[in-house]
Amino acid sequence: MRILIIGGTVFVGRHLVEAALAHGHTVTLFNRGQHNPELFPTVEKIKGDRDGGLGALAGRQWDAVIDTCGYIPRSVRESATQLANQVGHYTFISTISVYSDYSQAGIDEASPVGTLDDPTVEAVTGESYGPLKALCEQAAEAAMPGRVLSIRPGLIVGPHDPTDRFTYWPVRIAGGGEVLAPGDAAQQVQFIDARDLAEWTIRMVEANVTGIYNATGPAYPLTMAQLLTECNSVAQHKADFTWVSEAFLLEQNVGAFVEMPLWVPAAMAGLEQVNCQKAITAGLTFRPLATIISDTLAWHATRTTNQQENPRRGGLTSERETQLLQAWYEQQKA
């Protein structure tokens, strides 16, 4: 197949390129050339900005396009409209953040999505991100009816993750010592390795599948305690965990999911209990947790170690963790 990838050099995009090439497809990248331009030297690259620069794609034909970086409905609408007569199939990488209510477990593809009072808003914020992604899905479908695959991943993890929202745990636990563990040890967590997401996406494109699919994992209920224990096992049991309560984390204004990766208050527990059976039935598979952890650690070891040059974007700082543990012990004495 001839596959056009919008993006293709950052995290999910680069894994999609690798998966497509491994499957023997011919890949073209369309992006601004601002991130990792040295990647994939043998792959055709068309340099351009999707915001006003789609003319660079004119006159070309591809079997399918994968849009990895659509955040604004107008941009996705323009991309899908431009390509409607140039490609047969459009895959849009969306997010489970489209959903409007995370208070209950079992969110599926038919669950309500978030909306905006002003759908023309283009500022991407914590509040607008999900509803804008939902509007992007709708824009693609309107431009190419019946030819769009919208994939809604959960937290995407693994090598080359720039967010550290998963990487924090293997790295922190491998560092050893007392580790602050968040909330209810039995709280379920979900995420998907970018390589599993990419491999499955390419197979879905090959099969010309359309519709909406949640895509997170694993295929079994995984608790926070099980995740941290597995990280500790891979790290040869260097860490000791101190579990602190949700009430304490809220009192201390600990930021869910980013400052305290994978933890969310119980009122939002549905965010980590999304129903992905439709994708699993369609062939989505997951590599072992220990493999994700060990591969993440191996990749992290290749990163710049100077934190002034490469500050960690997610997770507690060592100073913040120490302060929180001290406050926790003081509270227990009171």
* Chain segment 130-186, per-residue pLDDT in tens: 999 999 999 999 999 999 999 999 999 999 999 999 999 999 999 999 999 999 999
**Rounded to whole angstroms, how far apart are CA atoms 151 and 148?**
10
Chain Cα centroid distance, residue 159? 12
Domain range list for the chain: 2-158+192-217, 168-190+220-269+288-325
pLDDT of residue 222: 98
Residue 50: φ, ψ to 5°:
-65, -20
List, for the chain, all residue ranges whose pLDDT scores fall below the cut of 50.
306, 308-309
Cis bond before residue 218 (omega within 30° of 0):
yes
Q: pLDDT at position 310, please?
A: 53
Q: How far is C-alpha 164 from the chain's CA centre?
A: 11
3-class state of residue 221 by DSSP: strand
Would you tell me how many other CB atoms lie within 10 Å of the CB of residue 238? Answer: 14
Give the residues across from 3 on adjacent strands.
27, 64
Question: What tens digit of pLDDT does each residue of 192-220 get?
Answer: 999 999 999 999 999 999 999 999 999 99
Rounded Cα–Cα distance for residues 222 and 208 (Å): 31
pLDDT in the model for residue 211? 98
Instruction: Note the CATH architecture for domain 168-190+220-269+288-325.
Output: Alpha-Beta Complex (3.90)
Instruction: Just give the CATH number of 2-158+192-217.
Output: 3.40.50.720
